[in-house]
Structure 1
């Protein structure tokens, strides 16, 4: 009788342990380890949402458009974004290059297993002239990082500035006016307000999903100029049927269309990237961009 009671007690205890374990929250997934990629690239990056992004700001370039000096963060910030894709790593990015740097960079990327997916302008009427080289690769993350490092070595891209230790100041008045009229908020860094608005559908290149932080969001950048005005640039990520309605809205609001092209070569769905340039009242520019976005299938909420 004692043995039978002891057996029942042990069974009850086991059931309680199983039930209790089922109620406990699952352990949080470990953060992706990007240390091997960071060491290979040789430059610091930041992780968010499963994407490790490394900036390559061309702070050595002093570019003007119609006499307006543009800040590095407005249109001169190259970057690479890494993400895990199963047991592999995928990377895409965009490098800001002088014409004389292009072909050495192309050769270095291809020699290290990275594909060239686009080479073109984003701006017009800029001095000096700059070009934008887009790339894509899959494989071992550290090997991809070393290939990128070899390509950057073919340019005059300076080392990145030290990360700021002070918290950013409150958004200036012009930035708040842009956010209110556009209906989307962003972040101000280095005097540039950056706003991203993701598309609604998932985007893939060669079967690998590309997150919005991998250059797949509608991206808008603003800087203050004179007398409370702003300069704005960026790109819309569009399906074919969205292209011309967006162009009509931009032109109706006095915004220049500066480029229309692909950034990818095997994307699903097929997407087009349309770049723009504007100067003027921050609220008016924000309202025009909002009208243009009304024709784009963007993520809600």
Structure 2
């Protein structure tokens, strides 16, 4: 089994691409609409992680998820407790229901620890 598939398995997701960067994703279960149309688009409902190795063996680890407003502060706290840096909270869409926000987080280090910590933080606050 590839390293990228092992990382996808941690979050119960799938490999989106394995090269040149490993990207894994699963969709959040949010009943959402944009412009009055129901959406299940991975652009609207992602929980996604990417892992990019460099020459010294440390990996740049990035995360992004769709998040409801009431979930933002608990998820930030759960990530910070795991020493993961939250870098952004913003919107992507207009005219969506419910209000969908997006959070980004990052670190440099072991990709398996990052994937497990990201998943555990999401489970802790009930977003996965």
Asked if residue 280 in structure 1 is aligned to residue 105 in structure 2, the reply is no
Asked if residue 229 in structure 1 is aligned to residue 58 in structure 2, the reply is yes
Deviation at 1:227, TM superposition (A): 4.2
Asked if residue 297 in structure 1 is aligned to residue 127 in structure 2, the reply is yes
Aligned pairs for 1:37-76 within 5 A: none
Aligned pairs for 1:170-249 within 5 A: 171=2, 173=3, 175-249=4-78
Q: What number of residue pairs does the alignment pair up?
A: 127
Question: Residue 93 of structure 2 corresponds to which residue in structure 1?
Answer: 264
Q: CA–CA distance in 1 between the matches of 2:34 and 2:16?
A: 28
**Please, which of 44, 67, 83 is the counterpart of residue 254 of structure 1?**
83
Q: CA–CA distance in 2 between the matches of 1:186 and 1:296?
A: 23
Aligned pairs for 1:133-172 within 5 A: 171=2
**Paired residue secondary structure (1:201):** coil
Distance 1:183 1:216, change over 3 A: closer
Deviation at 1:176, TM superposition (A): 4.7
Distance 1:281 1:202, change over 3 A: same
Deviation at 1:220, TM superposition (A): 1.6
Contact kept? 2:17, 2:24, Cα under 8 Å: no
Deviation at 1:219, TM superposition (A): 2.0
Q: CA–CA distance in 2 between the matches of 1:229 and 1:176?
A: 19
Deviation at 1:296, TM superposition (A): 4.1
Deviation at 1:192, TM superposition (A): 1.2
Q: CA–CA distance in 1 between the matches of 2:74 and 2:63?
A: 17
Contact kept? 2:14, 2:26, Cα under 8 Å: no
Q: State the TM-score, normalized to the length of structure 1.
A: 0.38
Q: CA–CA distance in 2 between the matches of 1:262 and 1:296?
A: 20
Distance 1:217 1:296, change over 3 A: farther
Larger strand share, 1 or 2: 2
Q: State the TM-score, normalized to the length of structure 2.
A: 0.82
Distance 1:256 1:223, change over 3 A: same
**Paired residue secondary structure (1:273):** strand
Long gaps (5+) in structure 1: 1-169
The structure 1 segments of at least 4 consecutive aligned residues displaced by more than 4 Å after TM superposition are none
RMSD of Structure 2 on Structure 1 (CA): 2.2
Contact kept? 1:245, 1:292, Cα under 8 Å: no
Name the larger-Rg structure.
1
Long gaps (5+) in structure 2: none
